[in-house]
Structure 1
Amino acid sequence: MRIGGLASGMDIDKLVSDLMKAERIPLDKMEQEMQRLVWKRDDYREMNMLLRDLDNSIFDGIFRQSTYLTKSVTSSNEAAVTATAGSTATNTTTTINVTQLAKAAMYNSETAVTDNNGNAVDGDTNLDQVTFSGGQAFTTGFNLKLSVIKPGESQASDITIAVDPTTDSIKDVMSKINSHTDLGVSAFYDSETNKVVLTMKDTGSGAKLSITNDGTADATTTADFFSALGFSNASAGYELGDTNLSGTIDGTDGAIKTAGLDAQFEYNGFATSRKTNTFEINDVSYTLNGIGSANISVTQDSDTILDSIVQFVDKYNETIDKVNGELSEERYRDFPPLTDKQREDLSDNEIELWEEKAMSGMLRSDPILSGGLNSMRMDLYSPVNSTTVSPDFNQLAEIGIETSSNYKDRGKLIINESKLREAIEADPDAVYELFMSDGTTDAEKGIARRLRDSISETMGKIEAKAGNSLETNEQFTMGRNIEEIEDEIYTFERRLTDIEDRYWRQFTAMEKAINRMNQQSMYLMKQFGG
């Protein structure tokens, strides 16, 4: 803490402060210059993000061949058949006549599950608390031994499910069956009818759910368990629902089993079948919904192609509008960045208004952005001279995309949608090649490839100058300039500290001299009787 002016009566603090204001002027200019660099760097990075968004939009839209190969599918009777088409599907009309839908095999109890008193069994009661109507009682743990053949397969899979009667109820056992995803069976206990229902997850004929015949006590217990659940004559080695143990089930034996069915249909008059109601023929995926006939028409999806091109044009116009805005933004040189002292003397609103003008025009007439825009315009206007490109569609204007005649639009694109749709419907492959033709020179490359090359080049120049958020200051030009100014600021601040110390030493020496003079004056006055 420094206290001055006791001898001289002068405000030494203010004198030193005023002197230091003049000394700080070069420092303020350096800090303002560094702030301008930071603002300009941030504006450059914002432009790079804008260009990256345009590049991603091109890549996700008109750059993808699948965009131009999208198919539209219509059905004359969606209640019977619906369909979707892949990119290689042929544009054609197919007639499908559905005579039978695929269904999954289903097994259910023939009778309600009751106890030995004839009462319906609660599905939540533990098994060891029930004696079933057939006299079955389960008091010790056992393994359910099941064997399943899925539709379309010939090899059976054996499944073992552990059951603990002291903690497991009928519903718990059903849940354990459901948790065995490899079994391919969905099971539940219907509390309204007190019956068990097991349904194969896959549709189609040939499915079989049997009790494993491995000669173990568990296989016998499994048979007893399903007998207790209302499956008459359940026996090891036989399919559930096989009431006559003949091994041939047609769905008539007490409705205990409903056999799985294949889908039966005619494809352009040819009778055929499938295990499921959804299948694929010639890259068209059909879904059978009901009995009946339908005409399925596959055509080029002109709407998707048109929408993709419109989205590209909109994104391009949005991008160049923002870039042109930066290039033409007014630069207010009379509004330098505020110093800390200036901020203290202004309100928040005044600071906001000042900095709005101070930050304006950082990229006005910037050569990197101007060059990038000019390159993109040339990419769009120049014809594509490639052997893969139709001479009828080698420029954007030929598919209905032209430059706005209004000079205020600064190169924005205008779409004639009817002309564009006509070109797409006439030759979608030619439209694709206009955008995506490959080649060794710019003249041979499609418009989308040229644009991405120009965008990449411009972004590279911006990053070399302004870097990105993942780079350190030493890795790009403006960052190195900022580091240099920071070093100059540090050195100058040390110099200011030395200058301030010198001023204080000088004023302190003056105070001491005045103090000695005052003491001598008082001494003389005393000597002369003052």
Structure 2
Amino acid sequence: MTGSLYISGLASGLDTDTLIKQLMDIERIPLTRLQQRKIQYNLEKNAWHDVYVRISSLWNTLGDLKLASTFNSFKATSSNEAALTATADSNAVPASYEIDITQLAKPETVASSSQVSTADNVSLGLPAGKLYINFDDGTSKQRYIDVDSNSTLQSIVEAINIVPPTTSDPGAGDIVTASIVDHKLVITSKTSGSGVSISFSDDASGAITDKLYLTSPTEIQIGQDAQFSVNGLAVTRSKNTVDDVIQGVTLNLKGVTNSPVNLQIASDTQRAIDAVNAFVAQYNSVMDFIATKLGDKGDLQSDPTLMAIQEKLRQLASGIVSGVTGPYKSLQDIGISTGEVVGSGTLTFDRSGKLTINTDKLTAALEKDADAVYQLFYNNSGTGGVAVSFDNYLTFLIKGTGNSTYTKGILVAQEDAAQNIIDDIDDQIARMEDRLAMKEEQLRRQFTAMEQALAALQSQGTWLAGQIAGLGAYQRK
């Protein structure tokens, strides 16, 4: 009840609340239909959003399929990873190497010739000035830090380890690492190899280096080169990470060997297989989802736009790639199809358009001609290939073409269209609820007026009955 106080059926004896409710239920039928339409459009909107998410995930799998390194990949296998590990890039050549490591590269390390203090955080009473760290690895470099009477061994270490923004700023963390061992200042070069030297000076007539016992520092470790052989050829390098000895291979020297380490460089088909598997798995997820949404109980049942998308994806996955000069012209040629070969030698097809991978056939294709497989997905001109065709179409679905019709992409446009209808329905519902509230108030006023009229009639009838009864009594007298 709205408005003033209302008491049901006092004069008429009718259950007017029930009557009003039943009348309003009839009035609310159009509102109920609108609410049901809103529910349906919400389901459609959410379905389009889910299609967008799955299509976007499929789009993301295309990146690796457009990289030559995915298909022309090599792996390096060491027989003794405690002594040697290696990585191979796309420029490597399949081969076998015997590597014997006789010496690892080491950095230069020097230290204070005596304990500087008995406590690392106690002021050393240094004169104010600059401590210079002089470094030479074939190219001379000089860095400095500021010290004063408040400087401690710990604050000096922290100052040295700062990487200076420019060579004119204090700090030497770009060329050395400082630490404290047994209350001595220990300095280690960040560059390994022979010929590295570290020395110290100051602008206080040697007073700072004297107090820190760095005038004649103790050489703890002499910088040395790595020495090793590759298939009997002796090699010397200043670092333990070596990328300029074997084509396309980076060697990580980790320990001296007692016997040669065997290093195998071979084609790595797994990276390409993983990339193809990721693409196919997401493609199948998309096609499964679309088939469900288009089905008899789907939220986008028989939607023409989604049916067109489904058909286009099938065409892209099963079509012949033009402009390819290699032996592989379609995904089926490398073992990817919408079915699998059965006993009769024929293909069985999946109704939803899902793909099946024959891993053995894919592996064989990669081992035979990995570059030709890559060209099937992404050719040299970048204008053809399965990955390019999918990329162009999925970009159109997600982002549109930039013209006035599809500035957001079809998927977003479909979701927005559903939301616009939902917004319009919400407006209609709000207006209808206002009208229904007014209608209910009108009915209550009408029933109230009826009750009041009946009550007045009943009152008059009672008065007349009383008058008639009184007249009868008078006549009997």
Q: What TM-score range do you get, normalising by the shorter chain?
A: 0.7 to 0.9
1:375 Cα shift?
1.3
Distance 1:143 1:95, change over 3 A: farther
**Distance in 2 between residues matched to 1:98 and 1:408, nearest whole Å:** 56
Structure 1 gap ranges (5+): 115-120, 128-137, 242-255, 331-360, 468-476
1:148 matches 2:137: no
Q: 1:65 matched to which residue of 2?
A: 68
Q: 1:88 matched to which residue of 2?
A: 91
Distance 1:479 1:197, change over 3 A: closer
1:516 matches 2:456: yes
Q: 1:164 matched to which residue of 2?
A: 149
Q: 1:201 aligns with which of 167, 186, 190?
A: 190
Secondary structure in 1 aligned to 2:76?
strand
Counterpart amino acid of residue 445 in structure 2: R
Alignment of 1:489-500 (within 5 A): 489-500=429-440
Q: Structure 1, residues 444-480: CA drift from partner, whole Å, max 9, x if none?
A: 831222223343445533322223xxxxxxxxx3233
1:433 Cα shift?
0.8
Secondary structure in 1 aligned to 2:17?
helix
1:97 Cα shift?
4.2
Counterpart amino acid of residue 465 in structure 1: Q
1:143 Cα shift?
3.7
Q: 2:374 aligns with which of 405, 429, 432?
A: 432
1:266 Cα shift?
4.1
Q: 2:310 aligns with which of 350, 373, 381?
A: 373
Q: 2:335 matched to which residue of 1?
A: 400
1:79 Cα shift?
4.5
Distance 1:144 1:503, change over 3 A: same
Distance 1:438 1:100, change over 3 A: closer
Q: 1:448 matched to which residue of 2?
A: 387
Distance 1:491 1:438, change over 3 A: farther
**Distance in 2 between residues matched to 1:184 and 1:458, nearest whole Å:** 52
1:183 Cα shift?
5.9
Q: Structure 1, residues 349-380: CA drift from partner, whole Å, max 9, x if none?
A: xxxxxxxxxxxx22122222222122111112
Q: 2:288 matched to which residue of 1?
A: 321
**Distance in 1 between residues matched to 2:250 and 2:422, nearest whole Å:** 61
Q: 2:236 matched to which residue of 1?
A: 273
Q: 1:14 matched to which residue of 2?
A: 18
**Distance in 2 between residues matched to 1:211 and 1:271, nearest whole Å:** 36
1:163 Cα shift?
4.2
1:434 Cα shift?
0.8
Q: Structure 1, residues 257-295: CA drift from partner, whole Å, max 9, x if none?
A: 432112234455554432211121243222222334445
Q: 2:268 aligns with which of 295, 301, 304?
A: 301
**Distance in 2 between residues matched to 1:500 and 1:156, nearest whole Å:** 92
Comparing 481-490 and 264-273, the one that deviates more: 264-273
Distance 1:516 1:110, change over 3 A: closer
Distance 1:503 1:63, change over 3 A: same
Q: 1:285 aligns with which of 243, 250, 258?
A: 250
**Contact 1:424 1:431 (C-alpha < 8 Å) held by counterparts:** yes
Structure 2 gap ranges (5+): 163-170, 340-346, 399-408, 471-477
Secondary structure in 2 aligned to 1:159?
strand
**Contact 2:129 2:147 (C-alpha < 8 Å) held by counterparts:** yes
**Contact 2:160 2:173 (C-alpha < 8 Å) held by counterparts:** no
**Distance in 2 between residues matched to 1:188 and 1:455, nearest whole Å:** 56
Counterpart amino acid of residue 502 in structure 1: Q
**Contact 1:151 1:275 (C-alpha < 8 Å) held by counterparts:** no
Q: 2:32 aligns with which of 28, 41, 45?
A: 28
**Distance in 2 between residues matched to 1:409 and 1:277, nearest whole Å:** 57
**Contact 1:211 1:222 (C-alpha < 8 Å) held by counterparts:** no
Cα RMSD between the aligned structures? 2.8
**Distance in 2 between residues matched to 1:422 and 1:222, nearest whole Å:** 70
1:184 matches 2:175: yes
Counting matched residue pairs gives 437
Distance 1:182 1:172, change over 3 A: closer
Distance 1:499 1:257, change over 3 A: closer
Counterpart amino acid of residue 227 in structure 2: Q
Secondary structure in 1 aligned to 2:178?
strand
**Contact 1:100 1:264 (C-alpha < 8 Å) held by counterparts:** yes
1:144 Cα shift?
5.3
Q: Structure 1, residues 7-47: CA drift from partner, whole Å, max 9, x if none?
A: 33333322222211111111111111111111111112112
Q: 1:389 matched to which residue of 2?
A: 325
**Distance in 2 between residues matched to 1:16 and 1:141, nearest whole Å:** 100
Q: 1:39 matched to which residue of 2?
A: 43
**Distance in 2 between residues matched to 1:43 and 1:406, nearest whole Å:** 30
Distance 1:80 1:524, change over 3 A: closer
**Distance in 2 between residues matched to 1:177 and 1:438, nearest whole Å:** 51
**Distance in 2 between residues matched to 1:195 and 1:483, nearest whole Å:** 75
Alignment of 1:401-416 (within 5 A): 401-404=336-339, 405-406=347-348, 410-416=352-358
**Distance in 1 between residues matched to 2:103 and 2:47, nearest whole Å:** 66
Distance 1:528 1:176, change over 3 A: same
Counterpart amino acid of residue 66 in structure 1: S
**Contact 2:134 2:201 (C-alpha < 8 Å) held by counterparts:** no
Secondary structure in 1 aligned to 2:137?
coil
Comparing 497-506 and 20-29, the one that deviates more: 497-506
Q: 1:464 aligns with which of 393, 396, 413?
A: 413
Alignment of 1:241-252 (within 5 A): 241=218
Q: Percent identity?
A: 30
